[in-house]
Structure formats: structure tokens, C-alpha cells
């Protein structure tokens, strides 16, 4: 567990806030109603990300980001200057770019490359979605990528018009933009991800997803830059909770009285021991594969042999 300051108002209670940051960098977007455990947030300090810190093997984020080129991820080439201009021009209308606005050019290049690609990692899993947005994705299937507020409140998927957004039992993000960019730049060089990206193309086939320990991509304390919410079980079952949520959201969309309990979610205490998953999809030019999404899984998604 990371060294997170305890709530000074309740010094004797165990701190269940774990590594979760209470908010993004934009204080105005923070809704205190959904703070972790309903506590006040005083005393909570966001960890700072150091681009030069040792990631555990003598390399740094600066190393990985410096050697990143979009073509290694089968994404369109983007120069550092083009990345800077892209973020300056589009960050207002594409808010998932905003976290990279004040970041180093190498970070901006990762964000821009992902934005011009077809994947949805930025829109749903970077520092753009606020804590309330992440919680509402887990509970009410509100898609952070959906920029039409009315459609988002109706749980309409941003990339599947008219269809209900889908989400598993948890919604997560790597909220720190330098950490997010590092996870991607380093992840695409991992042998298992390379195997997927370099696989001979078949338009109907997807390489299986790959999950890499957070520590392998972001170093020993990398989990501190991850956050998310997990749907609360129904009758002790996550499977039932996901089923009930689907019924509840469907009833809401139809304007009917839900016959399932209102979904609730709780902050995930810590991502220590978690993994970063990479899903794959065909490139726009349909001649290879790119990363469809990258997101962090909490540690209690055990994998055999892990």
C-alpha cells in the first residue's frame, strides 16, 4: 500500500482511500459527494510523477518516451511539433487531450498519436475522466468518451451510436498523464505486445489481449498513479451486479421503473499488484493491428500462474 496521508479528522480509522487520487488536476471538476468512503479529502496529497525516476530496471520514463515513435504502435507518424500543435488546437474540443497540455513534447506525442489512432484508451482511461465520471461509468454506464451530455446521461456509447455503453465490473484510469504515456510507450515494446502488434493481419481476427504487471511498466510505485471504481456486488456476486446494472440502465433508458437495485460503486483501494491490459484492433488502413485500448486492472483479477 502506498504511503497516503490519513484523514486528519479520523486518525484512528484505517485509511481505505488507498492510492486513489481524490480528483484530477482541475479542482473545479471535483464533486466532493463521491469522495472515497464519503470522507473529506483534506490531507490527501497527489503523488508527483518524476520523469527521471528509476522504473525499477535503471530506465526512466524519459528514456521510454524519448525512444517512442508512433509507427512502433502501427499509428500514423506524428512529429513533436505536430503533437504540440495538435494538442493546442484540439484540447478544448477533445478534452482527453487536455491533461497533456502542459506536458513535455514526448508525452504530447503519445497523446496525439493515440488521438489520431482508432483506440479509446485516452477517452476512457487517461486523466481526463474525473472521479465522478469514472464512478458514473461503473454505476450508470455513462461513457466518458461521449461528449454529448444528454447522450452520456442516457448511457449512449460514443462510438456505437444508439447503443448502450458497456463496462465491466470496474472502471479505471491512469490519472497521471506522464505515467499514462509511459505505460503506453513502454508497453508497446513489451515482447507480448510486440507479438500482437506484429502479427500477420487478418481483418476478422484480433490478437488476444495482453496484461502486464503495473510494476513492469511504471516501476515499484506505479500503482499510485492508477485509480478507479468497482461496482458493488449484489448478493455477493459481481456477475449479478453487472446483470442488475444492465437491467437498471435499460429501464432508465426506456423511462420505466427499474426492477433492479440502483447500481453502486466503491473506490478501488489500491492497484498494487495490478496489471495493465492491452486490447487490439485492426488499424484504420486495415493492414495491421493497433492498441484498441489500454487500461489498468485491479490486483484481484487473478490470473493463473500470476
Partner 1 sequence: MGQEFPPTDPDSQFATLIRIARTYCHPEADEEAYDALKRLAQRREDQEMSTFKNELRRAIQDPAQLPGNELFRAVQYDDGSAEKFLRRLWRDLYGDEPVESGDGEQSE
What residues make contact with partner 1 under the rule CB under 8 A? Answer: 118-120, 157, 159-160, 166-169, 190-193, 203-212, 216, 238-240, 242-243, 245-246, 275, 277, 279, 281-282, 292-293, 295, 301, 303-306
Angle at 269 between CA 263 and CA 270, to 5 degrees: 130
**Whole-number Å distance between alpha carbons of 246 and 263:** 9
User: Helices in the chain by DSSP H: which ranges?
Assistant: 61-67, 80-90, 105-116, 121-125, 131-140, 149-153, 177-187, 191-197, 214-218, 238-254
Please, are residues 87 and 78 in contact by the beta-carbon 8 Å criterion? Answer: no
**Whole-number Å distance between alpha carbons of 176 and 158:** 23
CB of 273 to partner 1, least distance (A): 14
By beta-carbon proximity to partner 1, the closer residue of 83 and 268 is 268
Cell numbers standing for residue 222: 506505479
CB of 275 to partner 1, least distance (A): 8
Residue-wise burial string across 201-238, b where 16 or more C-beta atoms lie within 10 A, e elsewhere:
eeeeeebebbbbebbbbbbebbbbbbbbbbbeebeeee
By beta-carbon proximity to partner 1, the closer residue of 92 and 201 is 201
Please, are residues 80 and 106 in contact by the beta-carbon 8 Å criterion? Answer: yes
By beta-carbon proximity to partner 1, the closer residue of 266 and 292 is 292
By beta-carbon proximity to partner 1, the closer residue of 67 and 166 is 166
By beta-carbon proximity to partner 1, the closer residue of 106 and 135 is 135
CB of 159 to partner 1, least distance (A): 5
CB of 243 to partner 1, least distance (A): 4
By beta-carbon proximity to partner 1, the closer residue of 103 and 120 is 120
Please, are residues 124 and 144 in contact by the beta-carbon 8 Å criterion? Answer: yes
**Whole-number Å distance between alpha carbons of 20 and 48:** 13
By beta-carbon proximity to partner 1, the closer residue of 87 and 211 is 211
Do strands 275-282 and 210-213 pair parallel, antiparallel, or not at all (unpaired)? antiparallel
CB of 244 to partner 1, least distance (A): 9
Cell numbers standing for residue 30: 471535483
CB of 279 to partner 1, least distance (A): 5
CB of 278 to partner 1, least distance (A): 8
Residue 265, phi then psi, degrees to nearest 5:
-135, 155
Amino acid at each position: 500500500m502506498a504511503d497516503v496521508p490519513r484523514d486528519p479528522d479520523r486518525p484512528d480509522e484505517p485509511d481505505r482511500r488507498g492510492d486513489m487520487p481524490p480528483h484530477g488536476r482541475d479542482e473545479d471538476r471535483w464533486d466532493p459527494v463521491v469522495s472515497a468512503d464519503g470522507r473529506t479529502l483534506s490531507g490527501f496529497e497527489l503523488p508527483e510523477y518524476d520523469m527521471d525516476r528509476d522504473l525499477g530496471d535503471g530506465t526512466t520514463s524519459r528514456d521510454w518516451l524519448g525512444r517512442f515513435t508512433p509507427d512502433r504502435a502501427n499509428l500514423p507518424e506524428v512529429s513533436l511539433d505536430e503533437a504540440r500543435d495538435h494538442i493546442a488546437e484540439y484540447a478544448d474540443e477533445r478534452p482527453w487531450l487536455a491533461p497533456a497540455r502542459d506536458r513535455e513534447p514526448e508525452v504530447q506525442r503519445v497523446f496525439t498519436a493515440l488521438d489520431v489512432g482508432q483506440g479509446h484508451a485516452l477517452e476512457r482511461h487517461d486523466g481526463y475522466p474525473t472521479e465522478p465520471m469514472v464512478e458514473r461509468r461503473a454505476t450508470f454506464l455513462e461513457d466518458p468518451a461521449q461528449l454529448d451530455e444528454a447522450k452520456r446521461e442516457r448511457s449512449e456509447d460514443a462510438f456505437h451510436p444508439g447503443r448502450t455503453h458497456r463496462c465491466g465490473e470496474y472502471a479505471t484510469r491512469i490519472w497521471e498523464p506522464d505515467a499514462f504515456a509511459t505505460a503506453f510507450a513502454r508497453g508497446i515494446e513489451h515482447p507480448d505486445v510486440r507479438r500482437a502488434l506484429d502479427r500477420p493481419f487478418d481483418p476478422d481476427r484480433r490478437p488476444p489481449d495482453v496484461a502486464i504487471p503495473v510494476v513492469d511498466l511504471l516501476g515499484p510505485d506505479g500503482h499510485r498513479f492508477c485509480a478507479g471504481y468497482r461496482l458493488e456486488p449484489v448478493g455477493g456476486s459481481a456477475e449479478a451486479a453487472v446483470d442488475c446494472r444492465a437491467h437498471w440502465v435499460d429501464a432508465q433508458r426506456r423511462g420505466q421503473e427499474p426492477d433492479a437495485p440502483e447500481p453502486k460503486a466503491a473506490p478501488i483501494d489500491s492497484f498494487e499488484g495490478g496489471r495493465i491490459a492491452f486490447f487490439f484492433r485492426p488499424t484504420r488502413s486495415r493492414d495491421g493491428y493497433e492498441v484498441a485500448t489500454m487500461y489498468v486492472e485491479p490486483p484481484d483479477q487473478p490470473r493463473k500462474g500470476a
